[in-house]
Amino acid sequence: MLGVLDPHSPFPRYYQIYSTLREGILSGEYPPGQALPAERQIAKAYGVARLTVVKAFDLLERDGLIDRQHGRGTFVIEPSKSGPFVGTIALIGFPAIDRELLIGISQTALEHQYQLQVLGIDLGFKHLDTYLTACLSGGVRGFLIYARPLSSDAAIYQRLLNQGVPIVMVDRYYPQLECDHVVYNNQEASALLTSKLIARGHQTIAVLPGYERDITSVRDRLSGYRQALEQHGLTYDEELVWLDLYDFDQPIWLLNGDYWRQLHHRLKRHRPTAVVTINDSIANRLVHDLLVIKSSHSTGPQSVAEPRLDLALATFCNHSEADRGYLNAVAVHPFRRLGQASAKLLIERISGAATGPSRQLVVPMEIVELPSGDGPLPEGGDIFQHRK
C-alpha cells in the first residue's frame, strides 16, 4: 500500500516514496517476482511528477531490489539476487583496530559494494584457524590482516594462500609469506625523526620499542634509528636500545607497577638527552614515568648525579595527537589512507583487476617538527592516557 507524503519532512519527496516502497519490499508486501505499480500510477497517487517516481526507482535499483524490464514493468527481485553488495571481506585486527584505519577500510569497501566483517583478536586467541574457515564458509572472499606478533599465525595464512584466498597484510607483515602487504615508510621516517633530534644537538639518543618487538614495522623503525646515527657519524650503542624496558606481552597502557624505577636506573646509567619511541603509547608511558621520577625528587635540589629529565622526545602518532606540547617531532601515520590502499588492493585481487606476483605498497608518513622546547614534562598533571 502506498503511503502519504509528509509536507513537513526534511527529506525530498522522491526519497519518501523510495523509503515507502523499500519498506514494502523488505516487509514482503511486494513479494519477489511481483510487479510494482507503474510509475504513472504512483505519480498520480502521490500527486507528483513522474520524474520524481523515476528517481525513487533509481534508488531501489541501486539497492538491488527491483528489475526494470522495458515494455513489461518493474519487478521485485528474488532475495537471493537482491542487495547492493557483491561480496564480503574480513578484517582481522590485533591488538586493537584504529578508528581511522577502520574508516578507511569500510569506506573503500562500501565504494566497491563490499560488506566488511571485523574481528579483533589478542595474543591469547586460540581459534584463529577455525574462525577463518568459518568466515570462508560464510561467504568471505578475502582477508585484511593486521597481524599479531606470533610466527605460528603465518602457517595459518599460508594455508589460505595455498587455497587461492586473497590476503593483504596491513601495517605489518610476515616476511616468510609471499603475500601482498601495505605498510608505512617506517625505516625512512624513523631515520628522519632521529635526524631531527640530532640536528638539535642531541648525540646520546635512546630508543624505546616497547612490547611489540618482533613485527616488521618495529624492526624497520629500529633500523631507521640506527641508520640516522651512522649517517651523522654517531656511534650506535646497543645499550641505548632499551628492549627490556616495558618488555611485556601486553599493551603498554595496561601496565601497573614501579616501572619508573627501571627508567630512572637507565637514565642515571646512560644519561641520554633525547628518546625516540616506536609509538605514541610508549611516549605516553615514558612521560608518565618521567613525571613520577620528577615528583619523587621535588622536595630538594637536584643532585649533580641525577639525570636530566627534560628529554627531547620524538615518536610516531596520529594526526589528532600531533599537537602535544611535550613532543619535539612526530611521524604522522595516516591510518585512513593505509586502510583505503589495503582494501582497494584486496578488492582488486578478488575481482581479478590485480594479478601477478605479490605487491608491496608503501604509504608515506609526514614528518612534523614541533615548536616545543627540549622537555616533555609539563608543570603538573598526568598526561598518561589510554590508547584509542
Q: What percentage of the chain reaches a pLDDT higher than 70?
A: 86
Q: What is the pLDDT of residues 254-265, one digit of tens each?
A: 556 678 888 999
Same domain? For 64 and 100 the reply is no
Same domain? For 164 and 207 the reply is no
pLDDT band at 388 (very low <50, low <70, confident <90, very high): very low
All three cell numbers of 288: 608518565
**Is pLDDT at 379 greater than 50 in this prediction?**
no
Residue 5 within any structural domain of the chain:
no
**Is pLDDT at 34 greater than 60 in this prediction?**
yes
Number of domains in the chain: 3
Residue 6 within any structural domain of the chain:
no
Residue 253 within any structural domain of the chain:
yes
pLDDT band at 324 (very low <50, low <70, confident <90, very high): low
Q: Do you know the residue count of the chain? A: 388
- Identify residue 301 by its one-letter amino acid code: P
Task: Give the whole-angstrom CA distance, residue 200 versus residue 285.
Answer: 24
Task: Give the whole-angstrom CA distance, residue 47 versus residue 24.
Answer: 20
Q: What is the pLDDT of residues 20-30, one digit of tens each?
A: 898 888 878 88
CATH number, position 74: 1.10.10.10
Same domain? For 20 and 95 the reply is no
Across the beta sheet with 140-146, the strand order is 114-120, 87-93, 140-146, 167-170, 180-184, 360-363
Same domain? For 282 and 196 the reply is yes
Task: Give the whole-angstrom CA distance, residue 328 versus residue 172.
Answer: 26
Same domain? For 20 and 65 the reply is yes
Who's near 90: CB < 8 A, 6+ residues apart?
116, 117, 118, 119, 135, 140, 142, 143, 144
Residue at grid coordinates 628529554:
311
Residue from 301, 304, 325, 329 nearest 314 by CA? 329
Residue 386 within any structural domain of the chain:
no
pLDDT, position 247: 67
Same domain? For 207 and 328 the reply is yes
Residue 180's DSSP bridge partners are 168
E strand or H helix that includes residue 356: none
Residue 98 within any structural domain of the chain:
yes
Same domain? For 302 and 290 the reply is yes
pLDDT, position 35: 93
Q: What 3 state SS string does 44-112 have?
A: HHHCCCHHHHHHHHHHHHHCCCEEEECCCEEEECCHHHCCCCCEEEEEEECCCCCHHHHHHHHHHHHHC
Q: Residue range 26-55: average pLDDT?
A: 91
| Residues spanned by the domain of 75 | 13-81
Same domain? For 309 and 359 the reply is no
69 or 210, which is more confident?
69
**Torsion on CA atoms 350, 355, 358, 363, rounded to nearest 10:** -70
CATH number, position 127: 3.40.50.2300
Same domain? For 128 and 32 the reply is no
Q: Which of 21, 49, 81 is the last residue of a domain?
A: 81
Same domain? For 141 and 26 the reply is no
Residue 212 within any structural domain of the chain:
yes
